[in-house]
Structure 1
Amino acid sequence: MTITATPPDADLAQRYAEDGVVHLTSILDRDEIDTLRDAFMAQVTSDSSLGHDDGVPKDDILARYPRFIHPHRHPELEVGRLTRRYMLDRRILDRVEAMIGPVNGAQSMFYFKPPTARGQAMHQDNLFLQSHPETCIAVWIAIDRVDDENGGLQMVPRSHTFELICPGDADPETSFSKQAIHLPDGMSTEQTVMEPGDALFFHGSMVHGSGPNRSADRFRRSLIFHYVPQSSVEMAKFYLPLLSPSGEEIRVTESTEGGVCGDGWVPAGPH
């Protein structure tokens, strides 16, 4: 398959079930994208404490532009209010619910990815969220034009039909994250190309990641949400409380599993 933009009148549930990823154009308009970009750039420039500690060296560009995790939990900040607003925006929720039914919000993120920044090795989201009995769905919204040069997402078509794959070690030269899925024979990646305001909706078992930003002067910023079906009864603690479409905080049982790779599992390299 080739990941191309899906027509607005397409059967989203069928497309999602078959491909595991749906590319929709212009989910947000240019004025909205400009507002989001300016707010997050102002926040990270003045105070980057929302940034997640990924253990990067102090001289790494990602130490200056760390990814923001759960900004929707900070209503005292403009970026928090904006993130919460778009997390519950019906233009996004209606598409998600067309694909998998009623959902609750589980996570928000904002990636800056400036020039020279490393990418994130191939991974599957539900290894981290541990949503049961259903998987999560991601909504990845482009703030900038996205392509291979500035480290756009790479997907493994239809990999959502596979079980979760236990990762090994990532290449520290190209990835800030420590773990990577080493693809079985016959599986390969496909590069995405997106315009500001476009969104990818993809399955929690979809294998995806990105390479370094090799451009001279282009950021690759993105706003990302994860949702889980309202039928979910268990979730990793880090993602609780969930957020209902009406803005109510929802708690489900905290996952106590060691994950699908087992208690005490450590990366074992390619397999």
Structure 2
Amino acid sequence: MTTSALSLAPDDADALHARYQRDGVIQVDGLLSDAEVETVRAAFMFQVETDHRAVGAVDEVPADDVLARYPRFMNPHRRPDLEIGRVARTLMTDPRILDVVTALVGPVYGAQSMFYFKPPGARGQAMHQDNYFLRAHPETCVAAWMAIDDCDAANGGLGVVPGSHTLEVACPEEADLTESFTRGLVRPPEGLSAVQTEMRAGDVLFFHGSTVHGSLPNTTVDRFRRSLIFHYVPQASIEIARPYLPLVAPDGSEVNVAEALGGGPCGEGWEGAAH
């Protein structure tokens, strides 16, 4: 998979940084080409249709749930022996993505990759905050959420709460499991509300680790809502939760920092802690 660099002009980088500081979320349209999107889509669909248990598939739903057939893949970038691993690793260190994340928070390491299939009829994911899981410190993580299909409210496109990034990471309450396949729910804070995103395949949404976000079910009968997600942490990070180690430097080498200890905002043992 080939990629090309994006050089942000200083004014562009400053504008992105200012908007990120204000809202905790920005959308960059058309970052991936149609051909690159198709490469990602084809690789992950081949993997899920031939062996969906080979790469970090999360076993978290009943066998009769459509998501049991299309489970989310965790950390495919750690599987260079598979096409999806090579694709994920290439994009995680792609200069176009790193240029944007660096404009937002400075130099970063890659911490996590995920792929969501979200087929027709799949439940959504209740509102949550990503740094609840990563526990990056002293700064938070940043997500790069890449649309691999056109997505909107109907097929369960992402909803985000601008301005919620200024809050501390909260301990979730129990979600409505008829709507969400995950258990934790963080409600939008008083005075703020969710905004429904609309994205074309190839667009990328970048958001702060405290930004409250989630999605509703895919109510369509024929539209997937596939997405490839990366999480990054500033290179100044001194600790992160153990499942996200080792980190990935921009040159592809691996880096270790201290493991974050303790149970986070919920303390030890909360059942919703798996991500």
> TM-score band, normalised by the shorter chain?
over 0.9
Q: Secondary structure at the match of 1:185?
A: coil
TM-score (norm 2): 0.92
Quote the Cα distance in structure 1 between the aligned partners of 2:122 and 2:70.
Answer: 9
Q: Is it true that 1:247 corresponds to 2:236 in the alignment?
A: no
Matched residue, 1:122:
127
Looking at structure 2, the residues matched to 120 and 51 of structure 1 have their Cα atoms a distance apart, in angstroms, of 19
How far apart, in 1, do the equivalents of 2:265 and 2:225 lie?
Answer: 31
1:117-159 Cα offsets, whole Å, 9 max, x none, are: 0011000000000000000000000000010000000011110
| Mapped contact 1:142–1:196 kept (Cα < 8 A) | yes
User: 1:97: which partner in 2?
Assistant: 102
Question: Taking every aligned residue pair, what percent have the same amino acid on both sides?
Answer: 59
Closer/same/farther in 2, CA of residues 266 and 55 from structure 1, 3 Å limit: closer
Amino acid in the other structure paired with 1:210? S
Would you tell me which structure has more helix in proportion to its own residues? 2
**Partner Cα separation in structure 2 for residue 260 and residue 165 of structure 1:** 6
Deviations 1:53-86 (A, max 9, x none): 2420001000000001000000000000000000
Match for residue 12 of structure 2 among 9, 14, 29: 9
Number of the residue aligned with 1:24? 28
- Ranges in structure 1 where 5+ consecutive residues have no aligned partner: 1-6
Change in CA separation of 1:139 and 1:98 when aligned onto 2, cut-off 3 Å: same
Aligned to 2:264, the other structure's residue is in SS state coil
What amino acid maps onto 2:43 in structure 1? A
* Count of aligned pairs: 261
C-alpha separation in 1, matches of 2:92 and 2:59:
24
Q: How does 1:70-81 map to 2 (within 5 A)?
A: 70-81=75-86
> How far is 1:264 from its partner?
4.3
Aligned CA RMSD, in angstroms, stands at 1.5
1:263 aligns with one of 258, 264, 268: 268
CA distance, structure 1, for counterparts of residue 82 and residue 271 of structure 2: 38
- Write the distance in 2 (CA, Å) between the matches of 1:206 and 1:243: 23
Q: 2:61 and 2:194 mapped to 1: Cα distance?
A: 26
Q: Gaps spanning 5+ residues in structure 2: where?
A: 1-8
Aligned match of 1:238: 243
- Give the match for residue 194 of structure 1: 199
* Structure 1 consecutive aligned stretches of length 4 or more whose deviation exceeds 3 Å: 7-10, 264-267
SS of 2:126 mapped into structure 1: coil
Structure 1 match to 2:48: 44
User: TM-score by structure 1 length?
Assistant: 0.93
Query: Are the counterparts in 1 of residues 75 and 112 from structure 2 also a CA contact under 8 Å?
Result: yes
AA aligned to 2:212 is: V
Structure 1 CA distance for aligned equivalents of residues 249 and 88 of structure 2: 14
